[in-house]
Amino acid sequence: MRGANRLVQNLINKGVNTIFGYPGGAILPVLDALSVSGKIKYILSRTEQGGGFMADGYANATGKLGVVMTTSGPGALNAVTCLQNALSDGTPLLALTGQVATTVLGTDAFQEADVVNITKPCTKMSAMIKSVDDIDDFMDDAVYTCFSGRHGPVLLDLPKNVMSAPTELPSSADEEMERLDNYLNDTIDVEDIHDLIIAAERPVILAGNGVIKAGSEAINDLRTLATMYNIPVTTTLMGLGIYDEKGPLSLKMLGMHGSYQANMAIQNCDLLLNFGSRFDDRITGLVKAFAPYATIVHVDICSANINKVIKVQHYINYCCGVVLRELLEARSLTKHAVSKKAHSKWHATIKGWTMPFSFPQGRATLQGREVISCLNDIIYSDEFKGTKFRIVADVGAHQMWAAQFIDYNRGRVNFLTSGGLGAMGYAVPASIGAAIGQPDECVICICGDGGFTMSFVELLTAVENKVNVKVLVINNSYQLMVKMWQEKFYEGRLLGVKMNNPPFHDVCAAMGCETMLIDKRTMLRSSLEFFLKHKGGPIVANVITDSAEAVLPMVSPGKALHDMIVDEVLDERLTGDAPC
């Protein structure tokens, strides 16, 4: 047995059954060990970045470890974007990278790169295994680090001679490791939070990705907490669906392109309960003007996220799931009877801020927002009542429209995107990974023409593996989000935003995909219904849409959340003050 066999047995012991990757000389010993074992499925991507994003989508869809494997030098470095993306969004991703033999390290050998030091800033741990005797310990540390505290990526660099060196196989048993996380001293406990809720007149719950990472019980507990006290709920982009967006307490998403009512509720609340959001700049707007009247409680598993952006009065540095469960089980819950009409005045105020997401009617060309709105109607039609959906959005205008115009309900309609990093080209490979991980879900990739051209080659992997992924290309022939900023903030000087696209439906048909062209309003609904029903491999819908659309509402850079552009024709702004 060789070091590579020992590595593979470790992966098997830890429950890994799928690896995404691209081969090369330095990683050949591990590839051979995978072939000999036959217990882990190897999915060939078409680029290393594509493989990394497939592993990311797989991890987010299943809750399991996502594994990407590359060769040395350029192979490993092509996956750096995926590592930073996983670090930004808290995804458990393990990168296994081939490396030249230790005997030639430092000699500028062919395809040598200092991968460990290059990737340290974008991983939770990056290390080289220099001896076969260290394989077990490094694998234990790697998987533990991926899942401990806030989830994230780990890279293990694998010199070819170490993977080829003789060794013994590890035991088939894998010991459970004790998890030791570093926490700050909390400033508040669940009893105190309960008292704040009882005393508040205008409370709001903000739910972020930390609740999703805590599991389905945490999501259910947050919904129970909101219902119990009649507290409105808003979410971050990465938290969409934690509270059912068709439910009576949903304010939908807040932030730069969030709903007017969510932003106004944040700006006027007197208690803000933040579960699992790191107060990203896209949700805060002007920091010094964020939630100016609120007592803020921040619950987050990552100590680095507390008081990093927003200075809070109270925090609990622990897993959201544990805190929510303790809140519901607290003895003090029995001391106060909560009226079903609690906060009725607050809800009436919020209702006055209701401004549904909309789009101009009657334009000759299809609107991207119109397309996604129609998709949402079909998802919730009786025909698809029992279907579970996962929307995987790329980055840009369509990403915000997918967040705005689809009603998410975690478990029934789930959302996945590159949130913190905003990596274009993410959605196609991530949707393939998600569909491989959850083959019973209807996985819909929504992307713009820009992100699609970056990664559509990965559809060859979907064709090869008959992956039922559905790719909806919002094709407006522009980098539309950048175009909008150039028009609004740079006096309309457009540069580098026009896309001269090929007929995507013809290109993808040549790759082996089922394809369709949608360019008329009359064919939109029937085409999308066919699109959702298709099975037997990937399907690509090339939807020709208006290049003059805008992404609204919008909080301009440097503005507070209540200062929003809401009308794309009039450039009208709405502002509001606190009801008190």
Residue 180: predicted pLDDT:
45
Can 3-164 and 368-544 be said to share one CATH topology? yes
- Residue 342's pLDDT is 81
Taking the C-alpha atoms of residue 561 and residue 267, their distance in angstroms, rounded to an integer, is: 7
Helix-, strand-, coil-residue percentages of the chain, each rounded to 5: 40, 20, 40
User: To the nearest whole number, what is the mean pLDDT of the chain?
Assistant: 94
Q: So what's the pLDDT on residue 391? A: 98
The Cβ of residue 311 has, within 10 Å, a number of other Cβ atoms equal to: 11
- Residue 181 confidence (pLDDT) above 80: no
Please state the φ and ψ torsions of residue 235, each to the nearest 5 degrees: -130, 165
Q: So what's the pLDDT on residue 168?
A: 85
Instruction: Return the pLDDT at 184.
Output: 74
* Fold (CATH) for 3-164: Rossmann fold (3.40.50)
pTM score above 0.85 = yes
Residue of higher predicted confidence among 79 and 332: 79
How many other C-beta atoms lie within 10 A of the C-beta of residue 89? 23
Given a cut of 90, whether residue 170 has pLDDT beyond it is no
Q: Kindly state the average pLDDT of the residues 276-283.
A: 96
pLDDT tens digits, 81-130:
999 999 999 999 999 999 999 999 999 999 999 999 999 999 999 999 99
Task: Report the candidate in 31, 49, 48 with the shortest Cα–Cα distance to residue 40.
Answer: 31
Per-residue pLDDT tens over the stretch 355-405: 999 998 889 999 999 999 999 999 999 999 999 999 999 999 999 999 999
Query: What pLDDT is stored for residue 185 in this prediction?
Result: 79
- State yes or no: pLDDT of 137 exceeds 50: yes
* Least trusted range by pLDDT, from 29-38, 98-107, 237-246, 570-579: 570-579
Which tokens go with 83? 């590592």
Q: What is the CATH number of domain 190-352?
A: 3.40.50.1220
Residues 6+ apart with CB under 8 A from 498: 477, 478
* Fold of the CATH domain 368-544: Rossmann fold (3.40.50)
Q: Please state the domain extents for the chain.
A: 3-164, 190-352, 368-544
The yes-or-no verdict on residue 571 having pLDDT over 90 is no
Q: Is the predicted pLDDT of residue 539 greater than 60, yes or no?
A: yes
pLDDT for res 230: 95
* pLDDT above 50: residue 178: no
Q: What is the mean pLDDT of residues 429-441?
A: 98
**Catalytic positions:** 48, 110-111, 160, 481
Residue 419: what pLDDT?
96
Tens digit of pLDDT for each residue in 57-85?
Answer: 999 999 999 999 999 999 999 999 999 99
Instruction: State the pLDDT at residue 580.
Output: 42
pLDDT-derived band at 555, boundaries 50, 70, 90 = very high
| pLDDT value for 186 | 87
Q: Which residue has the tokens 């590159």?
A: 418
Residue 409 DSSP class: B
CA-CA distances (angstroms) from residue 170 to 4, 20, 118, 142, 177?
A: 12, 23, 30, 16, 16
Distance between CA 291 and CA 284 in Å, rounded? 9
- Going by the DSSP 8-state scheme, the letter that residue 184 receives in this structure is P
- If pLDDT is split at 50, 70 and 90, which confidence band does 331 have? low
d(CA 42, CA 40): 6
